[in-house]
Amino acid sequence: MSLEAIRYRRGSLQILNQLLLPQQSLYEEIGSVEDGWRAIRAMKVRGAPAIAIVGCLSLAVELHTKGNAEQTVGSLEKFVGDSLRYLESARPTAVNMARAAQELGHFVRQEAKREGSTAESLRESVISWAEAMLDKDLKDNRSIGEHGACHLLQHIGKDKVTVITHCNTGSLATAGYGTALGVIRSLHAMGHLEKVYCTETRPYNQGARLTAYELKYEEIPACLITDSMVAALMKQLIGAAVIVGADRVVANGDTANKIGTYQLAIAAKYHGIPFYVAAPSTSCDLTLEHGGKIVIEERPSEEVTHINGVRVAAPGIDVWNPAFDVTPHELITGGIITEFGVFAPAELKAGLTQAAKKV
């Protein structure tokens, strides 16, 4: 069984504090929307899908444990709407929390208008909606794993595939199994994975601290490299592919992902290595026509100048610390792997629109 970033039962939400991994494996209670916002902002929990799931479940837990008899349908509807907008503000780039806020907000407005709706029935509906996100994300990730593994085997032309991946897109970024790491898990389970090279992913070190941890935990053949080693590695690889996750894939296929993804894509293009993005449709935002519209989160300079609280940079030096960059769709040469299948960037919008009609 893979690691659990999120532990939930009705009335209780715990998150694995990822700032402490791999040295310490400690779960923390999330008892309210405020707790959820703080944990997401501090990156105790991170990863586009996990952010949305923890955000919505923090609301579910607060509704279950602090809901009161004085609440009316109107006051509850307002509380849910205000809470969702607040949770969206924790981190702006990943679209999943914003999508969940929009969809859950629409659901609540519809439920509130329903004949016979009560505060209790509305509270129950919101909690169930949030709880359903866990199973859906896990199901989506297994489908992404299957579609991605099959596509790679058909197109890489080798019985065993070597994969380069960036950041963390596994069970620690989702409800389980992972997106890009889900494809890696599927290739490994099918006996078609040669090796995974995971980048350390400065400055938060999701690769060295989280992806390496997941891969070693499951004894998946892996090798850790620094971000600066990627091009030199690519020069010597045969039968390789790059698979990364996404925080926001927009209508033309441009993709916001962890800082460093863009240069990985440039190096892959130069070396003729197919570059894939693995993302559920919940990480796609078809309302934005291109990547120039994506807001890129900038984080505290201490994340660059310090590691585990120890200063590694000269005092007083200026720092630029964007958490993400945008990879243009032209560099996503392998395709975009979703739970509905693998799409070329130009096919994504039509493919997801068509798939959504069948759901």
Ligand X SMILES: CSC[C@H]1O[C@H](OP(=O)(O)O)[C@H](O)[C@@H]1O
Q: How far is the CB of 7 from ligand X (least distance, A)?
A: 18
Q: Are 197 and 229 in contact (CB under 8 A)?
A: no
Q: Which of these, 109, 333, 128, lies nearest to 243 by C-alpha position?
A: 333
d(CA 83, CA 41): 15
Length of the chain: 359
What order of strands is seen across the sheet that includes strand 324-327? 284-285, 248-250, 255-258, 324-327
| Residue the block writes with tokens 């944990």 | 39
Given the complex with ligand X, which of 47 and 291 has the nearer CB atom?
A: 47
Exactly one of 57, 104, 167, 249 binds ligand X (CB under 6 A); which one?
Answer: 167
Given the complex with ligand X, which of 71 and 141 has the nearer CB atom?
A: 141
Q: Which of these, 298, 279, 182, 162, lies nearest to 225 by C-alpha position?
A: 162
Does residue 245 belong to the site contacting ligand X (CB under 6 A)?
Answer: yes
Exactly one of 175, 187, 323, 326 binds ligand X (CB under 6 A); which one?
Answer: 323
Q: How far is the CB of 59 from ligand X (least distance, A)?
A: 20
Q: Are 223 and 217 in contact (CB under 8 A)?
A: no
DSSP, collapsed to helix, strand or coil, labels residue 263 as helix
Does residue 174 belong to the site contacting ligand X (CB under 6 A)?
Answer: yes
Given the complex with ligand X, which of 324 and 343 has the nearer CB atom?
A: 324
Q: Dihedrals φ, ψ of 322, to 5°? A: -70, 135
d(CA 123, CA 232): 55
Q: Which tokens is 13 given?
A: 């939400």
d(CA 4, CA 252): 33
Q: Dihedrals φ, ψ of 271, to 5°? A: -95, 5
227 catalytic residue (yes or no): no
Given the complex with ligand X, which of 214 and 247 has the nearer CB atom?
A: 247
Exactly one of 16, 21, 37, 49 binds ligand X (CB under 6 A); which one?
Answer: 49
Does residue 258 belong to the site contacting ligand X (CB under 6 A)?
Answer: yes
Exactly one of 62, 146, 218, 247 binds ligand X (CB under 6 A); which one?
Answer: 247
Exactly one of 169, 199, 327, 333 binds ligand X (CB under 6 A); which one?
Answer: 169
Q: How far is the CB of 208 from ligand X (least distance, A)?
A: 13
Give the binding range for ligand X (CB under 6 A) out of 59-67, 152-160, 245-253, 308-316: 245-253
Exactly one of 73, 127, 173, 184 binds ligand X (CB under 6 A); which one?
Answer: 173
Q: How far is the CB of 111 from ligand X (least distance, A)?
A: 29
Residue nearest ligand X by beta-carbon distance = 245
Does residue 71 belong to the site contacting ligand X (CB under 6 A)?
Answer: no
Q: How far is the CB of 177 from ligand X (least distance, A)?
A: 10
Q: Which of these, 233, 252, 251, lies nearest to 242 by C-alpha position?
A: 233
d(CA 127, CA 188): 36
Residues 89, 203, 98: CA angle, nearest 5 degrees: 20
Given the complex with ligand X, which of 151 and 166 has the nearer CB atom?
A: 166
Half-sphere exposure (Cβ direction) of 232: Cα atoms closer than 13 Å: 6
Q: Of 35, 137, 140, 247, which one is the catalytic site residue?
A: 247
Q: Which tokens is 263 given?
A: 């240069």
Q: How far is the CB of 186 from ligand X (least distance, A)?
A: 15
Q: Which of residues 114-153 bind ligand X (CB under 6 A)?
A: none
Exactly one of 32, 83, 199, 206 binds ligand X (CB under 6 A); which one?
Answer: 206
Given the complex with ligand X, which of 45 and 80 has the nearer CB atom?
A: 45
Give the binding range for ligand X (CB under 6 A) out of 28-36, 156-164, 229-237, 240-248: 240-248
Q: Which tokens is 315 given?
A: 């005092």
* DSSP at 324: E
Query: What residues line the site for ligand X (CB under 6 A)?
Result: 46-49, 167, 169, 173-174, 179, 206, 244-247, 257-258, 323
Q: Would you name the residues annotated as active-site residues?
A: 247
